[in-house]
Chain A
């Protein structure tokens, strides 16, 4: 079996608010394998967003070890962390986070700008990805000319354009109606079937139910894992 995409071992994160230590994560261990499909469930304040930021390399743990794409984040400088995010992780946010006044194609191509890919190739790859998420006819539209579902598909295409091994989706259906939400989840699952690991952060039990396994968080701790032991039965095996 290939190396896991992300390995968190007894990870904690404490915020310092005006000299008062506020623990958000209090020792969490979690492995995301290649091709995994995990839902992280919890109420607001449970620490699930903090965990997601850590898994995505946007933040660093204050305790424990976190290995993303085979690299211990404690040893990485901020530019190296940026490179890691660019190469290993694809983010999908609840509020899409698309650049306004920028076409779907250029939004999707954005991560490639920071990889130093030339303009022509960027645009070709972005068009390819938009085609793949079913938006081949929306390439030159701007976010305000698209529906919520279409915007989230653009965001997914952007997350995929660098060929990441993990998609981190933070409440990806939170701003969508249920039908559109379903189709976005269908898209994520079809990508998962192609070998990309998907980590879903949600408070919606129905959404979480579709994942291969669930991790429930409360007060900065994992309180249950389903199935127990959390070894994926049907790992896609990565690539």
Chain B
């Protein structure tokens, strides 16, 4: 029997049992769709996070107290503005050094209030990180030196406190202390799960006074070039270690953050794909099951085909192709469903999704392989049927 003929016979058989074929395919469709959609979501999330980390600015070096190791206890910061000056001298340019002391604070303007992330910062922040103003001006060096009570609002904060009105020059209170708005940021959206539009920047000195501390939480450095970033990190950590002999410091680069996040997300994507793969496997078992039923149901047909000259391999091929058709058609439908689900999720929910060729190829290949794998046993059984017994079956 020619192969083209065998395909036609298999297709006819599937058509003859349309409902059963569709239900059998459904298992494979769901399995493949799950693999494609979940891998797309995993990949999309990873890409988004990479963009966000890179969007912070280039050649960044974040310095925090404590060791960055799994299981290490978080340290209480004992960094101060003097340390920031010392780091500025090592870098050779104090404009490349930013600091933060952050605190969640209630901010009020008139009758409206909102809970924000107050960040005490230096005037250098926009040059170290990528941060664009929408209106007004940023903090100045003199604002920092004199602990002037001025604030720059994130886009979300500005909207919730002032609506459509221009906030520049208006008064608000942070933790009960009066500040004046001098600028607003462009909207930035979420970054690593944090709403960046919910920030309020004030001079670090004013924030320290408000919080009753002389500490800062962390330092960030924008290295002059990528090649010297590691050396600079080591120098800074060493210098800070000399100033605070009983504390460890760590310097992390964006590349290191990306590496760690990438590893975590890679594992996550793998786990998602594995779970989806199991459902694909279950779909394959369903195909096998139905093929065994089909062989039993069509015993008489098999007997007749053998009587008129079908060889065992002709019969085996017919049933194997049926199984392969079920899983490949199911695979194609599943790919379409998976892509559709991923695109919808990407557009309608905050979950990012990016469909990748490798996941499509893998899902389709696996579904075809599942068809062969789970079709072989029923096909062999059909091929080996004794024609005398098969013809006698009622």
A sample of 7 more A-B contacts (CB under 8 A), given A59-B388, A83-B309, A110-B308, is A53-B388, A58-B306, A58-B391, A83-B311, A102-B12, A111-B309, A114-B311
Closest chain B CB from A175 CB (angstroms): 13
Q: How far is the CA of A59 from the CA of B391 in the complex (A)?
A: 12
In the complex, how many residues of chain A place their beta carbon closer than 8 angstroms to a beta carbon of chain B? 26
Which label, helix, strand, loop or mixed, suits the secondary structure of the B interface?
helix
* A162 sits at the interface (CB 8 A): yes
Does B313 interact with chain A (Cβ within 8 Å)?
yes
Interface code A54-97, partner B: CB below 8 Å = 1, 0 otherwise?
00101100000000000000000011001101110001010001
- The 3 A-B residue pairs whose C-beta atoms are closest, nearest first, are A86-B309, A111-B308, A114-B309
- Is the pair B313, A97 in contact by a Cβ cutoff of 8 Å? no
**In whole angstroms, how far apart are the Cα atoms of A82 and B2 in the complex?**
16
Contact assessment for B388 and A85 in the assembled complex, using a CB-CB cutoff below 8 Å: no
Q: Is the CB of A97 within 8 A of B300?
A: yes
Taking CB atoms, residues of chain B closer than 8 Å to A158 are 308
Interface size class of B (residues with CB under 8 A): 20 to 34
Within 8 Å CB of B312, what residues of A? 78-79, 82
A116 CB within 8 Å of chain B? yes
For A116, the chain B residues whose CB sits under 8 A away are 1-2
CB-based contact B301/A99 at 8 Å: yes
Q: Which of A78, A83, A162 has the most CB of B within 10 A?
A: A78
B308: chain A residues at CB < 8 Å are: 85-86, 91, 110-111, 114, 158, 162
Do the beta carbons of A58 and B309 come within 8 Å of each other?
no
A82→B308 CA distance, assembly (Å): 8
Q: In the complex, A102 Cα to B307 Cα: how many Å?
A: 18
> A87 to B308, alpha carbons, bound, how many Å?
9
- Inter-chain contacts of B9 with A (CB < 8 A): 113
Residues on B facing A (Cβ under 8 Å): 1-2, 5, 9, 12, 16, 300-301, 303-314, 386-388, 391
Q: Is A120 an interface residue (CB 8 A)?
A: no
Q: CB-CB < 8 A to B305: which residues of A?
A: 110, 114
Tell yes or no: A137 within 8 A of B by CB.
no
Residue from A82, A99, A116 whose CB has the most chain B CB atoms within 10 Å:
A82
Interface check A115, CB cutoff 8 A: yes
Contact with B309, one of A53, A97, A101, A115 (Cβ below 8 angstroms): A115
Q: Are A114 and B310 in contact (CB under 8 A)?
A: yes
Chain B residue nearest to A56 (CB atoms) is: B307
